[in-house]
Structure 1
């Protein structure tokens, strides 16, 4: 769903710099949750995603993130 805003918008592993990958994985899970709660305009979430590790430490591990999503008001354009 493109109308979901995550707060905060970036998720990081405190041990590795995989913020783009982890943020994408969190967004994916929250998008699914937003579909389940489609009647709500905002909701608290807790999701679990896998961090693949880093260059020197390639051991995958699970991270849990908490936050809140809310729906953006879609601005419609008139041509």
Structure 2
């Protein structure tokens, strides 16, 4: 639970790649900024930054649900 600011940082479990998640998230109509965009050296590919500053609570709930669907898609792997 953030105590202030405009963003919340998250880390994907198991060292998953946030950039790969971003591609799936865009397919669900939601996006975020991979944390690697904010590291000068030694980027952590499993981090992501989520904005909540100008978003209604119900839109955050919907966005998290979409992000969850994207995560499940990523975890399921490519379809054969």
Q: TM-score, normalised by structure 1?
A: 0.31
**Structure that is richer in strand per residue:** 1
**Structure that is richer in helix per residue:** 2
Q: TM-score, normalised by structure 2?
A: 0.30
Q: Indicate the structure (1 or 2) with the bigger Cα radius of gyration.
A: 1
